[in-house]
Amino acid sequence: MIILGVETSCDETGACVEILQNDRVVLLSNLVASSQEIQSKWGGVVPEQASREQIKSIIPVIHEAMEQAKITPSQIDAIAVTQGPGLIGSLLVGVETAKTLSLIWHKPLIPINHLIAHFYANWIRSDDTLTELPKFPLIGLLVSGGHTDLILMKDHNNYEYLGGTRDDAAGECFDKSARLLNLPYPGGPNLSKLAESGDPSKFTLPKPMIDSGNLDFSFSGLKTAVLLASQSKDFKDRDKADLAAAVEASIIEVLVKKTLQAAKIHHVDHIMVAGGVAANHKLKAFFEKSIAEFLPREKLFIPPANLCTDNGAMITAAAFFQKPTSDPLSIQADPNLSLKIS
Ligand code: KG4
Ligand code: ZN
């Protein structure tokens, strides 16, 4: 089975062709055009601008993805597209393009929830060799720009929502802290880079809800602590790296501790992490260290960094495990899709 997938939820235009072999989703091509450089001028994503860039990129990116995969429309079995959540203008570009292709090529259309798709980056392989795949039941931690959620995944299309952030997402906390430190957009990777030369012990920041006894998160107080520290009269430019390291360490510790708690409570042996923040290599290292120390039976899955941030490959991968819609024309972009509706 071969699927073409399209992702346009924010400022990235992704198109990808994949084939299912030995239960592994194998990449035939994976194209991402990003308007991040344009957005960085404004310090964040300007929705109107992002959707205009989507319109420019969508056809060339799909065309190139098909070319690189050496696939013609007749060889495709289905088309997958991000239905939501995301920016409505950006989503509409992908959804309407996919609907049109589905009609003119007579191919089934599979609408995909972007959030659940992030997890499917863990099923993608560059070939069909028998590397281990995530096994159900498993705990999934989604850490993206707008979402921080924990789910218990019992099977494909069968999961229980365990908890999530009550205010800011972990990625948002990275981004807003980066802004307070005058770092360029995108904040997360830039803050993490600066943190490499910092000493986290120089600042005592909160680790919100770390011992709350439930699986919810809250990061807005941490952002406020960064604001207060950075505005203190003693704060100097040379302290920025230490503050960056401290906020990164707090976020990571909370994320890892809660995820391990979830794995323990639900007696699962596999944990998978997904979303843009999963590209953070200190998060991965802290997960590995904590698992070795506290839950050594646990197996950890984190996609390679380029499959953590938004891409068409994860949308396509998720589609192999979903049913096509019976009426492509009925699909509507939905900016508010969430993981809570299962
Ligand atoms: O999943 P994603 O690409 O887009 C959304 O669906 O939101 O996630 C973007 C988020 C941003 O907050 C970005 O700053 C963060 O992921 N991010 C990182 C890193 N790379 C991306 N945060 C920390 N460290 C990174 N290396
Ligand atoms: Zn995303």
Q: What's the CA gap between 233 and 165, in Å, rounded?
A: 32
Residue 324 near ligand 1, beta carbon < 6 Å:
no
Largest separation between any pair of C-alpha atoms in the chain: 66
Q: Pick the ligand that lies closest to the CA of residue 278.
A: 1
Q: Identify the helix (H) or strand (E) that includes residue 235.
A: none
Per-block mean pLDDT, blocks of 10 residues, the chain (342 long): 97 96 92 84 85 96 98 97 98 98 97 97 86 95 96 96 97 96 93 98 97 96 97 96 98 98 97 98 98 96 95 97 90 94 54
Q: What's the CA gap between 28 and 70, in Å, rounded?
A: 8
Short-list 70, 54, 71, 73, CA closest to 310: 54
pTM of the model as a whole = 0.95
Q: Identify the helix (H) or strand (E) that includes residue 300.
A: strand 299-301
Residue 189 near ligand 1, beta carbon < 6 Å:
yes
Residue 164 near ligand 1, beta carbon < 6 Å:
no
Residue 174 near ligand 1, beta carbon < 6 Å:
yes
Q: Pick the ligand that lies closest to the CA of residue 185.
A: 1
Residue 85 near ligand 1, beta carbon < 6 Å:
no
Q: Pick the ligand that lies closest to the CA of residue 147.
A: 1
Residue 187 near ligand 1, beta carbon < 6 Å:
yes
Short-list 110, 83, 106, 105, CA closest to 94: 83
Residue 280 near ligand 1, beta carbon < 6 Å:
yes
Pocket test for ligand 1, best of 174, 176, 194, 338 (most atoms within 8 A of CB): 174
pLDDT on residue 341: 60
Pocket test for ligand 1, best of 192, 251, 277 (most atoms within 8 A of CB): 277
Q: Cα(270) to centroid of ligand 1, in Å?
A: 23
Task: Please report, for residues 20, 191, 281, 313, 329, the alpha-carbon distance to residue 3 in angstroms, rounded to integers and kept in the order given.
Answer: 9, 36, 30, 10, 19
Three-class secondary structure of residue 163 per DSSP = strand
Residue 276 near ligand 1, beta carbon < 6 Å:
yes
Residue 184, preceding peptide bond in cis (omega within 30° of 0): no
What secondary structure does DSSP assign to 271-294, as a single string? Answer: EEEESGGGG-HHHHHHHHHHHHHH
pLDDT on residue 64: 97
Q: What's the CA gap between 217 and 143, in Å, rounded?
A: 11
Interhelix angle 187-195/240-265, rounded to 10 degrees, is 110
Atom number, ligand 1, closest to the C-alpha of residue 281: 26
